[in-house]
Structure 1
Amino acid sequence: MTQTSSSTAPARGPVDHDVRDQIVAAATEHFSRYGYSKTTVSDLAKAIGFSKAYIYKFFESKQAIGEMICANCLAEIEADVCQAVSEATLPPDKLRRIFKVITEASLRLFFQDRKLFEIAASAATEDWQAVVEYDARMRQLLLDVLQEGRQSGDFERKTPLDETVTSIHLVMRPFRNPLLLQHSMEGSEEAPALLASLVLRSLSP
């Protein structure tokens, strides 16, 4: 699993990655069984066999643990998308792959466990830092592909680059946000390809 940013879920006390990973793994299993909203830090402490105070040495709140789980999931999606982009040569193909893989990976991770979906929903609703950082990296990936496409002559250069990135980022939002994606599952196979084609036509020089 891809490592997450240290800015997510800050640690208290000594940094012991093994213990932190153990807490996150146990919390993931516990949330998947009982749900995120119904679980307290005291519940986690009992399930793991640690004291509540000991858990607070590593995570300042239940949300901090949820953020780490969310960040791990988003890192998996990001890794899949970056891998797909790296395997494409032409900028238009890279853009198509971003649409396709971000939808497939998001569906797989957000909805493979309905109870863990609560974490993704909370993260999206409350703009957790893990989500903000993930969105920023996806914007940067789009920016890189668009710049490459403009340099190669595949994409037009008249529209301000920031405006183009923002527009495409908004078009992709229903496939990144679990709250929106859950209402678009019926068309999740064909919609990304159709929208990618529409975006690429708008980018034609």
Structure 2
Amino acid sequence: MNEATTYPVSARGPADHDVRDQIVAAATEHFSRYGYGKTTVSDLAKAIGFSKAYIYKFFESKQAIGEMICANCLREIETEVRAAIDEAERPPEKLRRMFKAAVEASMRLFFRDRKLYEIAASAAGERWQAALAYEERIQNLLQEILQEGRQSGDFERKTPLDETSMAIYLVMRPYLNPLLLQHSFDYTDEAPAQLSSLVLRSLSP
């Protein structure tokens, strides 16, 4: 499960250009201080020391910069989730670890900085490509675990795989989506264990 992780973002200029990383780093700091919604590309240009036109050589809009920042955060979450899964040997434990790691990583990355949370909220609410790609990858990862569990005999095989996968993803979604997660704070300590146990009972052959 060590698949390469890429997230589509709208960017211009050479893909490996150092200036793009410099703009993203400066924008992350600026958004963290002043907020995504209140910051314009002109504000970023002034803070970074570049002209507005120069920034547009690398990003077509403020949203494109926000998407890159969002993609970096989502990549961190996915990497952490995959690492937790890889530590388990059997599919049931992989599923438990997936629930736990996803909630913990989402809480830490989305809410350690309330200003940067605005970007995650915008990505989820406006269905940015980076957010859609993340959701698809999490669903694919979940399906990999289910397929492995069916092959090993740990999980039932009667229900269509795509139906099972989507149902479990919908159970997890309130703890993955930043717009929904903010309404679930009271349950984040117990939810991963309780929900994964419920799901595993439903998967019993």
- Taking a change above 3 Å as real, the CA distance of residues 202 and 25 of structure 1, as seen in their structure-2 partners, is same
**Match of 1:95?**
95
Where do residues 30-179 of structure 1 align in structure 2 (5 Å cutoff)?
30-179=30-179
Determine the C-alpha separation between the residues in 1 that align with 2:84 and 2:162: 24
- Do 1:4 and 1:72's aligned partners in 2 also have CA atoms closer than 8 Å? no
Contact 2:103–2:192 (8 Å) recurs in 1: yes
Matches for 1:5-44 after TM superposition, within 5 Å: 5=6, 7-11=8-12, 13-44=13-44
- 2-side partners of 1:20 and 1:51: how far apart? 14
Amino acid at match of 2:6: S
CA distance in 2, matches of 1:93, 1:182: 27
CA distance in 2, matches of 1:108, 1:6: 20
Deviation at 1:140, TM superposition (A): 0.7
**Scaled by the length of structure 1, what TM-score is found?**
0.96
Q: Deviations over 1:21-71 (max 9, x none)?
A: 000000000000000000000000000000000000000000000000000
Over the aligned positions, Cα root-mean-square deviation in angstroms equals 1.2
Q: Number of residue pairs matched?
A: 202
Instruction: Look up the equivalent residue of 1:58 and give its one-letter code.
Output: F
Q: Given the two structures, how large is their TM-score scaled by the length of structure 2?
A: 0.96
**Cα contact 1:4–1:71 (8 A) shared by 2:** no
Q: Which runs of 5+ in 2 are unaligned?
A: none
Percent identity over the alignment is: 74
Secondary structure of 1:115 counterpart: helix
Which residue in 1 is equivalent to 2:193? 193
Asked if the contact 2:7/2:71 (under 8 Å) is kept, the reply is no
Asked if the contact 1:35–1:116 (Cα under 8 Å) also holds between the matched residues in 2, the reply is: yes
5+ residue gaps, structure 1: none
- Give distance in 2, aligned partners of 1:43 and 1:187: 39
User: Segments of 4+ in structure 1 off by > 4 A?
Assistant: none
Shift of 1:192: 1.1
Partners of 1:58 and 1:41 lie apart in 2 by 12
